[in-house]
Amino acid sequence: MSRVIDIKGRRGGSGPRDPDEHIICQKPLRLRWGDWHTPHVIQVHVGSAALYEHQREQDLAAGRRLGYQMPSHFTLDGGMHETALALMRHRHSEESLRQVGFLAGLMECLINVPCAILRTDLIRRVYQEVQELSRRLGLAWRGRVGHFMLPVMEDAQYPQHLEIAVRDIDNLKGFFTTVRAITDRRYTALTKDFVIYYPRRNIS
């Protein structure tokens, strides 16, 4: 990743540090470099992130060590780690970011969600769509993946909302349209409600 991403704000050098040096981008998603020692990408609600950022500014001004305490967060491991890295790579294109979310939603259905259409020959068409999007986005999942879609607040209240939405769909158009609508809604939630922090090292 360090070969394709302009990594700013590496530790080192002299003089006061820019308090914004950890900001990767503010739109469409809020992406930042984390200050703590962890190999994981973490996802933080904007409220918790604001509290952390305020404390971070105070620590910088006082010359204190950064990252001694992490905000409340979701750890993006397994398949979510690869999804988060794809969001980083495609951060300058909102259309590509939405496509990453759509692909993650298709994978979630294929691996984790019972669905009528995936018990028919139409599953081959879904796999074709996954393969084409994976090739276009440079996104593939390996090993123990778990989940693919990044969490949003809706999951706590309606943990089976994806399964309920797609389980009885028996036509391809309805399946793709439903998954697209769900992942677009989740993308909007990510842009409004969360900040994603990436480790400055060990990102792969």
- C-alpha 174: how far from its chain's center? 25
Mean pLDDT of 71-99: 96
What is the overall mean pLDDT for the chain?
89
Q: How far apart are the first and last CA of the chain?
A: 6
Domain edges within the chain: 28-77+193-198, 79-191
pLDDT digits (tens, 9 = 90+) for 133-147: 999 999 999 878 899
- Mean pLDDT over residues 89-115, rounded? 96
pTM of the model: 0.87
Per-residue pLDDT band for 13 (boundaries 50, 70, 90) equals very low
In this structure, are strands 30-33 and 194-198 parallel, antiparallel, or unpaired? parallel
Decide which of 5 and 43 is more confident.
43
Q: Using an 8 Å Cβ cutoff, are 63 and 144 in contact?
A: no
User: What mean pLDDT is predicted for residues 82-87?
Assistant: 97
Average pLDDT rounded to a whole number, residues 53-66: 86
pLDDT band, residue 19 (cuts 50/70/90)? confident
